[in-house]
Amino acid sequence: MLKQESRRLKRVSQILNSPSAPKGGLVGATLAVILILINANLFAQSGEVNLLQHINPTNPSSKVWQLATSSAYPVAVGVPAGILVAGYLQHDKDLKLKGWKIVGALAINTVIAEGLKITVNRERPYQQYPLLIHPYDASEKGQSFPSGHTSEVFAMAASLSIECKKWYVVLPAYGYATAVGYSRLYLGEHYPTDVLAGAAIGVGSAYLSNWLQRKFFKVK
Could you give the C-alpha distances from 18 to 11, 21, 108, 139, in angstroms and in order? 11, 5, 17, 36
pLDDT one-digit tens code per residue, 88-102? 999 999 899 999 999
Angle between helices 93-120 and 192-217 in degrees, nearest 10: 140
pTM to 2 decimal places: 0.80
40 φψ region: left (φ > 0), alpha (ψ -120 to 50), beta (else): alpha
Name all domains of the chain by residue range, CATH numbers in brackets: 2-217 (1.20.144)
pLDDT one-digit tens code per residue, 58-96? 999 999 999 999 999 999 999 999 999 999 999 999 899
Q: How far apart are CA 178 and CA 156, in angstroms?
A: 12
